[in-house]
Amino acid sequence: MLALASETGCQTAALVGYFGERLPGPCGHCTSCVDGHEAPRLLAAESSRPPIASRLNRQAFAQLCSEHPEALGEPRQQARFLCGLSSPALTTARLSRHAQFGALEDYPFSDVLAWCLMI
């Protein structure tokens, strides 16, 4: 994926080529074709994030989970809540309006889920 994102030529042609096909010419609609990039694009380095535990009050979150077991009873539900991903249970409990909803939206879901599995 990184190679495709930093492709200097037609990205669509590169993707099609990966699967063994060929385009007769540039696609005309990918980023490289539209912007005319000849030089490789530099991808931004992943920013370091503070530990999840430093962003949340574990006791307050545990209290919220115990008050809403139907919406936050499972680690996956908790991770969805913290990442700002709504669900019917969260909507019914009106938790998508809570201050902690989406508190970890800039963290990968897998990291938040792993943290929720540990608490």
Residue 84's pLDDT is 97
47 lies in some domain: no
Check residues 106 and 38 and name the one with the higher pLDDT.
106
98 lies in some domain: yes
Residue 56's pLDDT is 93
Claim to verify: residue 78 and residue 106 sit in the same structural domain: yes
Identify which of 13, 99, 91 has the alpha carbon closest to the alpha carbon of residue 56.
Answer: 99
Helix/strand/coil for 53? helix
What is the widest separation between alpha-carbon atoms in the chain? 60
Q: What is the pLDDT of residues 76-109, one digit of tens each?
A: 999 999 999 999 999 999 999 999 999 999 999 9
pTM of the model: 0.64
7 lies in some domain: yes
- Flag whether pLDDT at 41 surpasses 70: no
Claim to verify: residue 31 and residue 64 sit in the same structural domain: no
21 lies in some domain: yes
Claim to verify: residue 78 and residue 22 sit in the same structural domain: no
- How many domains does the structure of the chain reveal? 2
Return d(Cα 106, Cα 102) in angstroms, integer: 9
Mean pLDDT within 70-77: 97
43 lies in some domain: no
> Chain-centre distance of CA 117, in angstroms?
18
Return d(Cα 66, Cα 102) in angstroms, integer: 18
- Flag whether pLDDT at 39 surpasses 70: no
Claim to verify: residue 91 and residue 58 sit in the same structural domain: yes
Mean pLDDT within 40-66: 84
64 lies in some domain: yes
Residue-range definition of the domain harbouring residue 25: 2-35
Helix/strand/coil for 101? coil
